[in-house]
């Protein structure tokens, strides 16, 4: 076996999936790619300037457009936030790998941005011998047996898939 891809987030299910994948990689002598995916646009603050109607008594059309300097300041702040979020995602992957102890396994930590997790993992499954995920991630519908990403992978992964149960 050549490569195992495991999708992780900060959920207990992802931790179980990672532990399972590390054990499997060790048994098979396979490389392990630990993947965390997030869409930056969901995490960043939008470009925001007050509406021309923000304060009572302001007539339509009388508000000033933001200056180039104001716009540049907002864009720079967003870029800093983007960098912080990416660094935090990398730290999360490293922390998770450290928690499970991957000694003796070739591990490739990977952070994918600007993609939906299901889309990114389906694409990565085309180069993998095995894809591993937990049954549920951080989604809000805790009563479901499978989370939305896991459900999409069951339907669309192009390699064998292991879904590690949460319990």
In the chain, what are the domain boundaries?
Answer: 3-46+67-164
pTM value is: 0.77
CB 157 within 8 A of CB 35: no
CB 25 within 8 A of CB 31: yes
For 147, left (φ over 0), alpha (ψ -120 to 50), or beta?
beta
Domain 3-46+67-164 is found in CATH 3.40.50.2300: no
Predicted pLDDT at 34: 97
List pLDDT tens digits, range 86-128.
899 999 999 999 999 889 999 999 999 888 999 999 999 999 9
List pLDDT tens digits, range 24-81.
999 999 999 999 998 765 544 555 555 555 555 555 555 567 788 888 888 888 888 8
Q: Which residues contact 146 (CB under 8 A, 6 or more apart)?
A: 135, 136, 154, 163
Measure the CA–CA gap between 61 and 149, rounded to whole angstroms.
45
Predicted pLDDT at 72: 87
- Alpha carbons within 13 A on the beta-carbon side of 94: 6
Measure the CA–CA gap between 18 and 31, rounded to whole angstroms.
13
């Amino acid at each position: 076996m050549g490569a195992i891809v495991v999708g992780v987030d900060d959920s207990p299910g992802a931790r179980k999936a990672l532990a399972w994948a590390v054990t499997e990689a060790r048994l098979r002598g396979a490389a392990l790619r630990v993947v965390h995916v997030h869409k930056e646009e969901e995490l960043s603050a939008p470009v925001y300037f007050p509406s021309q109607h923000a304060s009572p008594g302001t007539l339509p059309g009388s508000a000033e457009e933001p200056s180039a300097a104001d716009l540049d300041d907002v864009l720079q702040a967003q870029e800093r936030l983007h960098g912080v979020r990416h660094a935090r995602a990398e730290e999360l992957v490293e922390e998770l790998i450290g928690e499970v102890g991957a000694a003796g396994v070739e591990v490739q930590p990977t952070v994918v941005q600007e993609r939906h997790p299901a889309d990114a993992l389906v694409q990565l499954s085309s180069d993998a011998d095995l894809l591993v995920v937990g049954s549920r991630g951080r989604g809000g519908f805790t009563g479901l047996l499978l989370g939305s990403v896991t459900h999409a992978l069951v339907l669309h992964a192009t390699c064998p898939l292991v879904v590690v149960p949460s319990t």
